[in-house]
Every structure is written in structure tokens, then in C-alpha cells.
Amino acid sequence: MATAGLLAVLAFGLYAIRTSAPLSPAEHDLLRQAAGVGSAANGFPLFFHLEDEHWLQPVAVYATALAGRMSSPDNAGRLASAAIGGLNVALVFLLARRLYASTLVAGGTALLLMATPAHIAYARTGVDAIYPLPFVLAWVLALVSYFETGDRRLAAAGAFALGVGVYSHPSAPLTMGFLLVVTVATIWMSGRRDRSSVAVPVAAFVAPLAVAAVWLAANPTAYPDTFGRWAIHAAHLRSPWDGVRAFVNWNTLGTRLSLYWGFFDPSWLFFDGPDSPAPPLRGASPFLFATAMALAAGVSQRLRVGLSPTSLLLLAGIAVAPLAASTFGTPHAISDFLMIVPLVVVLAAGGVADWMARDDGWWPAFSWVVIGALVLDAARFIRF
């Protein structure tokens, strides 16, 4: 735990270093909403409507408001994101140590996440994209422990983290719902098929949603511009069959499927694009290039030894990560499925660890080449 805390502090220091880049419009929007929290005019709302389909979930706004009490208001959004980035690094360390039973591998996994461009970019940017990650990591960590011990309280804790994570990002209602399906399916496939094994995590997931249900019942006009945009449309609540027909419309499915596969395009994920001035990645790929080789090794190792519940959890989590993002209609919007980043990093670190553990002298040597490539690539991206 002490090592995890030290890594979190190190990551926070790395991310909190300020650059001269001006605040983006999205950062200004978050700061403006955070500044209004608790005022006589705004009070303490659950959701924050900006304009049209744009809205903010409470976790990012309230975290930024809290940071604003301890720092310059202009830096509050970036300071809060840096703190979340540090928390992610600590949680990845704990998850990797649980998975690989090695403090050294866990430390390497945490450092890889710390240096991954997409994570750096959003941990240094005062927007809400990074906020779902701690909830997803807590979910994985709890379920991995559950599959080892069989303690249903851990399954409930993981599902509860997803339920609270619904309030972390506009894409989160769909994303966390999909991850609940992954939870139930993985528990079922692990052989735990009694009713309570499934009912307990479902109930734990639903419990935090009662807050939204009560608030939306008291503020019904807020639904169309919040959950009604990207979760379940208000018209489909009134007529569920119309919602089913809209979902299975071939044109809609074709468009979303095209966007979905585009999120897994290796040329976008691992190769730098044009030198675009657009923040926060500015033309960089979401992942370091050498991560692609390590990820292939990690997936291969998981498939080679057989699909354990933990392997199914990680692979299914990666598979469903872009589902919500593909409904938004924006290609390569990494901000809408940033949760894929720590899952990929954990699998990639496992691939490197597998190479180093082999008896064949060539593979351990190659693993050091890949580690060196990761370090050089990270040094090129990290700019202060």
C-alpha cells in the first residue's frame, strides 16, 4: 500500500506540472459549473446542463469545486484531474500486484500507465474524461479478488463502484451498464449460477441509481438533456418497443459498427498522427508504440493458458469499452472510452512479464528491448 501511495504522489507531481497552454472551452465550462456549486442561484444540483446535448455529471464538477477551495480557481480542473490520474496509477499497481503476484511487475505496470500518452494528456486537462477510470479499476480489482475468494461482498463492491461511476461522465450510464452485463456474464461463466450470485451485484449496481431516480423525478425537465440523450430516450421510456426498433435499425447498427471497429484501428491507437495543434493529444497516438507488441503478447498469454474469469473480465472490458463511444457518432473520441487505457496497460505488462519469465534466453532479452522502446517513446511524449 505504501508503494501504491508513493506512485500516486509521483504521478500527481508529474501531471500537476503546469504548461503554458491556455484553458480549452471545455475546461472553462467545467470551471464555470464548479464555481456555481453551492451558490444561492445554483445550489447543489445532480446534473449540470451546458447547452443542447452537452451536460456534465456531478463527480467531475464537485471534484473540481473541491480543488478550487484548495488552489487557484483557474487551475482547479487540472489539479483535480491530476489527482484522479495519481489515484489511477495507485489502483493499477494494486491490480497488477494481485494479478501477477510481483511488486516489480506491478511497479512497471503503474509506470507504464503513468507514461501512456492518453492518460498523461487527460490527467493534465481539466475535463471529465478521466473520471470513470477509478471506478472501472475498483470494479476490476474487486471482481478479481471475488473470483479468488468467492466472497460475494467483493462482487457487490465492484458492482457498486460501477453504479457510482454512472455519475462520472456523460458516456458512463451506457459504459457502466455494459460493464454490469460483463460482470453478470463472467460470474455466470465462472460456474457461480445460483440466483444470489447474480442478484447481489445487480442490486449493488442499482442502489446508487436511486439518487438519480429521485432527483429526476423532482426535476423531470432535466431528463431529456441528461440520461435521455445517451442512455434511454424519454420517448423510448414511453414506448419501449420503439426503442428496440430504433436500436436494431440496420442503418444505425451499420454506422455504429463502423465507428466501433474504428476505435480498434492500430494505426490510430499506436502510431502518431499528423502534428495537429488540437489538444490534448496534439497528434500523438493514445498509446506508446511498443505497447502494441506487449499487448499482443499479453492477450496471447491469456489465451494460451485458458480463459479464466479474470481473463474474460479484462478482455470483455476492452471489447465493450468503445460501445458507448460508438453511439456518440464521433470517430476516435478517446475521451469517451478512456477506460480502455488501464485495461490495455495491465494486459501489456503481463505480456512483458511473460517474456521475462521464459526459459528461452531470447525472449527475456527481447523484453528489455521493448521496455527500452517504451521508455524512449515516453520520454519523447512527456513535455513539461
Range of the domain at 289: 2-234+258-381
Number of domains in the chain: 1
CA contacts within 13 A on the Cβ side of 298? 25
Beta-carbon contacts of 259 under 8 Å, excluding residues fewer than 6 positions away, are: 322, 325, 326, 329, 330, 331
Q: Are strands 54-56 and 48-51 parallel, antiparallel or unpaired?
A: antiparallel
User: Using the 8-state DSSP alphabet, how is residue 72 labeled?
Assistant: -
Beta-carbon contacts of 75 under 8 Å, excluding residues fewer than 6 positions away, are: 18, 67, 126
Name which of 182, 104, 176 is nearest 134 in CA terms.
176
pLDDT value at position 323? 84
252, part of any domain: no
Residues in the chain: 384
281, part of any domain: yes
294, part of any domain: yes
The 3-state DSSP class for residue 168 equals coil
pLDDT value at position 232? 60
pLDDT value at position 383? 57
The 3-state DSSP class for residue 305 equals coil
How would you write the pLDDT of the chain (384 residues) with one tens digit per residue? Answer: 788 899 999 999 888 886 567 888 888 889 988 888 877 567 788 888 777 777 888 999 999 999 988 887 788 899 999 999 999 999 999 999 999 988 999 999 999 999 999 999 999 998 999 999 999 999 999 999 999 998 899 999 999 999 999 999 988 988 999 999 999 999 988 888 788 888 999 999 999 999 988 888 887 777 777 776 666 655 545 555 554 555 555 566 667 778 888 888 888 888 876 544 456 777 678 898 888 999 998 898 888 877 888 999 999 999 988 888 777 767 788 888 899 999 999 999 998 888 888 877 787 888 888 888 888 888 777 654
pLDDT value at position 277? 44
Q: What is the pTM of this model?
A: 0.90
pLDDT value at position 366? 80
DSSP strands (E only) in 226-303: none
48, part of any domain: yes
pLDDT value at position 209? 93
CA angle 114, 171, 201 (to 5 degrees): 85
Q: CA 162, CA 135: separation in Å to the nearest integer?
A: 6
The enclosing H or E element of 125 equals none
pLDDT value at position 42? 72
Q: CA 187, CA 164: separation in Å to the nearest integer?
A: 20
Beta-carbon contacts of 7 under 8 Å, excluding residues fewer than 6 positions away, are: 86, 89, 90, 93, 107, 110, 111, 114
